[in-house]
A and B are shown apart, each in its own frame.
Chain A
Amino acid sequence: MPLLKVDDVTAGYGDMEILRNVRMEVAEAEVVALIGPNGAGKSTLMKTVFGLLHPKSGTITYKDRPIHGHEPHDIVGLGLCYVPQVDNVFTTLTVEENLDMGGYLLPDSQLPERREWVYEFFPRLRERRRQRAGKMSGGERQMVAMGSALMLEPQLLLLDEPSAGLSPKLVDEIFDNIQNINRAGVAVLMVEQNAQKSLEMAHRGYVLANGENRFDGTGRELLADPDVARLYLGG
């Protein structure tokens, strides 16, 4: 049984259709990369899964439960958490407050324990826990954002371009973090500009173009596919 199943989804803003009949699946503890050129609808698909956008047609199920048409704050309690690409931390709140907001649905008594769990992945956040997130560097903010999403102990983490705008060294660090999170049993669905790197790490990948499915397969298959390589890997 797939954890997340997107079936024949069409979605967009107003009259504009950005996604057309898209399908996608994520299994438990799997890393799935979503790649494709700019404007292919990758971020829109993430937003649609998470209820920030409601599909015009098609179904989205999480553990066989339909979630399309639900609001984000209803979806987040089911076990999937989302890290937006931009504006993904509360800049006026401290690191610890950001994490607490990530665990908003938990009873207060569980928060310290969950925070400790997150600090294991991101030891730097423990040092900076009293600092306002707005005063942190891009890489640290990304850690705060991912840490906040992990507070609810999700089974599926949706990451929208986690490495965007980071220096190569930080990109490696963030990818290591993602790998560690996945080893803890969390399935990851990520949109990435860095297609090569994400496909190397991913179990499977989907290539979107113009809002439609173009290719899919295991990470290795996609990396080896000459068409994918020519069109989307710049090689």
Chain B
Amino acid sequence: MAVPGTDHEQPAAEAQRLGERLREMTRTRTFLIATLIVILALMYLFGALSGAGSRLMSLTAWGLMLGGVIALGSIGLTLVYGVMKFPNFSHGALVTLGAYVTYTVLPLLPDGPTLSPLSFGYEFLVAMVVAMPVVGAVAIALDRAVYRRLRRTGSHLVLFAMASLAMAFFLRSLIYLIWGPDFHFYYPGQPNPAFRLPLNIRVQGDQVFILVMAFVFVAGVSALLEWTKMGKAMRATADNPDLAGVRGINTERVIAWTWGLGGALAACGGVMYGLSSQLRPEMGFWLLLPMFAATIMGGIGNPYGALIAALIIGISHQVSTSFLDPTYGPAVAFVLMVITLLIRPQGLLGRDGG
């Protein structure tokens, strides 16, 4: 409606509306996905321009593997965050612990034949199956010793986060104390064969194995959350812990399961990470940032989101080394996380309105 005297205000109002519409548009999931695709495409372009064209596919394969490792770690992080609402900074140490426990268990087992095209035999799988509950138990023990006391006294969430940072340093020192600062390998001196695919792509059997493990565990955890009683109780506790108690859910038991599951998956991630590089006491600590980035990018509490985000981060991390100094690698995850937070703070698969 044209009211005399307001003509000059109309364009301004329209511009404001247009601005709002634009802001709305840049807050959608579609826009976030488009942005991430553009960033990935640019990375490949930069890589190709700096003459790394032939290596890009191999880097992608490495990226997928790294993404699988990050994903396994992120699931635990996202579960703990969902149920207890604090960022667990000691999660990286649990990853490291998983790798070292496997390293310790391996020599105690009889060597089986190598499961070609993988670089390891049955005994490695057995060692992993041992390491997962061990680290899960460590996570539960830490909860009993530290976090449960904080819950009882109704402490602020900042205290939980600080305590978890302290536990990160504690666990790392413990690892130094037991295994020393030296690098270790599961199978010293053993070559890790790669098979060639068309287009000159080289892929290691281990890389495929890690990716498969990540998918299997993500699907498993999602099914658990969706269909089992304990999974539903975890979601209920994450949603409203007081009401969960009122409904008869023993939230302390749910929390113990959450730690156990998160710790076991972190261990699995660590075991896998050890396959792709050497074991060192800080290995998990350096995964912490990409794991948090994947958790936030994927949408907190959503294992599938964490998997997708972890794969994006893993690939970006590796492909960026084709045109950037590899020491900038960790910054890539950080930049992706910040972009996600600016566009859609609830993440790729997070729900609208929190």
Contacts and interface: CB of A to CB of B under 8 A. Distances in A.
B153 to A, nearest CB: 13
B339 to A, nearest CB: 26
B332 to A, nearest CB: 32
B246 interface: yes
B242 A76 contact: no
Contacts of B236: 90, 93, 97, 101
A37 interface: no
Contact of B232 (A87, A89, A97, A152): A97
14 contacts: A52-B245, A71-B245, A72-B246, A73-B246, A73-B249, A76-B247, A87-B242, A90-B239, A91-B239, A92-B238, A93-B236, A104-B229, A108-B229, A152-B248
Contacts of A91: 239-240
> In terms of DSSP, what is the predominant structure of the interface of chain B?
helix
A41 interface: no
A93 B235 contact: yes
Q: Which 4 A-B pairs have the closest CB atoms?
A: A76-B248, A72-B245, A105-B248, A90-B239
Interface in B215-262: 229, 232-233, 235-236, 238-240, 242-251
Contacts of A73: 245-251
A12 interface: no
A148 B248 CA distance: 11
A52 B243 contact: no
Given A90-B239, A90-B244, A101-B244, 7 more contacts: A71-B245, A72-B246, A73-B246, A73-B248, A87-B243, A90-B236, A104-B229
Contacts of A90: 235-236, 239-240, 243-244
B65 to A, nearest CB: 33
Contacts, number: 66
Contacts of B229: 100, 104, 108
Nearest to A107: B229
Contacts of B242: 52, 84, 87
> In terms of DSSP, what is the predominant structure of the interface of chain A?
loop
Contacts of A182: none
Nearest to A88: B243
A82 interface: yes
A36 B239 CA distance: 32
A77 interface: yes
Contact of A104 (B235, B240, B249): B249
In this complex, the interface size class of chain B, counting residues with CB under 8 Å from chain A, is: 10 to 19
Contacts of B245: 52, 71-73
A219 interface: no
A206 interface: no
Interface of B: 229, 232-233, 235-236, 238-240, 242-251, 351
A105 B244 CA distance: 12
A102 interface: yes
A50 interface: yes
Given A72-B246, A90-B240, A100 B251 contact: no
Interface string A92-116: 1100010011101100100000000
A148 B235 contact: no
B240 A87 contact: yes
Interface of A: 50, 52, 71-73, 76-77, 82, 84, 87-93, 97, 100-102, 104-105, 108, 148, 152
A100 B246 contact: no
Given A101-B244, A148-B247, A92 B232 contact: no
Contacts of A72: 245-246, 248
Query: Considering residues B229, B235, B248, B351, which has the most beta carbons from chain A within 10 angstroms of its beta carbon?
Result: B248
Contacts of B251: 73
A93 B250 contact: no
A85 B169 CA distance: 43
Contacts of B240: 87, 90-91
A97 to B, nearest CB: 6
A77 B246 CA distance: 10
Nearest to A111: B229
A105 B245 CA distance: 11
A104 B246 CA distance: 11
A186 B217 CA distance: 45
A76 B246 contact: yes
B246 A93 contact: no
A91 B240 CA distance: 9
A84 B246 contact: yes
B248 A77 contact: yes
Contacts of B249: 73, 101, 104
